[in-house]
Amino acid sequence: MSGRGAPVAAVICCVALWACANDTAEPPPAPGEPVAGLGTGERGRFLVGRALFERLATADEGLGPLYNAERCSECHDQPAVGGGGAQRFRVLKATRFTDGRCDLLRAEGGDNIQRRATDLLVAHGMGPEIVPRTATDTALMTAPPLFGLGLLEAVSDAVLAERADPDDLDGDGISGRLPRLPDGRTARFGRKGDASTLEDFVDTALRFELGFTTALQPAEEARNGVPVPAAADPMPDPEIDVPTMSQLTDYIRFLAPPAPEAALPDAVRDTVSRGAALFRQIGCAMCHREELRTGSSNAPALANRTIRPWSDLLLHDLGPGLADVCGVDASPSELRTAPLWGLRYRTRYLHDGRAADIASAVSAHGGEAEAAREAFLSLPDGARRAVVRFLNSL
């Protein structure tokens, strides 16, 4: 993961040769592969970024001294590198929510609890972080799939705002809204709407999950607010330079979205079609918006495309049953609508992985989703199975 040294240069050279030798027509992308239509240079950057994403980092390169994982793919490997995280790896979050305001506990080390420490940090008398006593809530978050994020980034704020109705002016019980960061930018990435761009998203992961400093944030993270000894992290800052950050970001930007299940038998196709119609009919598509349209992009393969993520990327209040930590502009019960594309590759559901199957995940929805949940539960058994089969085809 380091932004310096011969290993990264070797990766770049090998991948560049591969890209030049394989400039041929691309097959339909499988999970973990790049979006179709990239140029040779873009494919090369994707491959360099993927190699960095999979590369095991060491403390000598700047890993830690506080961290949660030793490589990006440790959290994102299901069903392929770049996908979601298995139940075995969940990120511990802690926040304080009082008087309607969210405190991300930055003075006490931040909301991401780093549960591992390098040997050098331990030798200097410090161990992993603990949940601050001032926290009011904690959550164990599963790592989200990264497939198709570049296309979601290419959707304009105006397209998302079409569905936003923060005051429920139409009275339908759905009041999604675009969260905003303190600087006023909208935030469409993260479970709670935590990042505005993919670069922000990658930067946050590098700092909090692997403990790397970056050009955007060159200061080392403190342990529960206490600075770590300089000798416990001898790598010069920033540990991830701008070119490395750009390559990692482009890798994620160019990951193809998962395609729906294909080549279904006629009977199964009919069930899936029926389930999709019921999904819309009972109101699930009010938040899990079927289609979005991308706008302009520096990458032509991402521009002006109709995509089917089954999400409006807005924050919705899902009730006390799913409430835990808060976000920059999100209450404990507000969550961004999770894209459903690629749902068939997941083995656990909801933001914290609590649901073992799709029906249980739907049943846990409340708040703005309560009417849709009750409509789902009121369906005859065969109709509910059709909805689940449709979702398992995505």
Residue 317 is which amino acid?
Answer: D
Q: Which pLDDT belongs to residue 8?
A: 40
Residue percentage of the chain with pLDDT more than 90: 90
Q: What is the mean pLDDT of each run of 10 residues along the chain (394 residues)?
A: 40 40 56 97 98 96 96 95 83 97 97 97 97 97 96 98 94 95 96 96 97 96 96 94 97 97 94 98 98 97 98 98 97 98 95 96 98 98 98 98
Burial level of 136, CB count in 10 A (0-12/13-18/19+)?
Answer: middle
182-231: pLDDT as tens digits: 999 999 999 999 999 999 999 999 999 999 999 999 999 999 999 999 99
**CA 255 to the chain's CA centroid:** 13
Q: List the one residue out of 76, 81, 72 whose CA is nearest residue 31.
A: 81
β-pairing, 137-142 vs 90-98, is antiparallel
Distance CA 378, CA 392 (A): 20
What angle, rounded to 10 degrees, do the helices at 381-391 and 266-281 form? 100
Distances (CA, A) of 209 to 108, 204, 231, 265, 390: 17, 8, 21, 43, 34
Q: Which pLDDT belongs to residue 206?
A: 97
Distance CA 77, CA 95 (A): 27
Q: Quote the mean pLDDT of the chain.
A: 92
Q: List the one residue out of 61, 82, 65 whose CA is nearest residue 73.
A: 82
On whether the CB atoms of residues 353 and 84 are closer than 8 A, the answer is no
DSSP β-bridge partners for residue 61: none
Q: Which pLDDT belongs to residue 267?
A: 95
Q: List the one residue out of 35, 1, 42 whose CA is nearest residue 19.
A: 42
Distance CA 30, CA 50 (A): 15
Distance CA 262, CA 141 (A): 31
Residue 223 is which amino acid?
Answer: R
Dihedral over Cα of 375, 380, 384, 389: its sign? negative
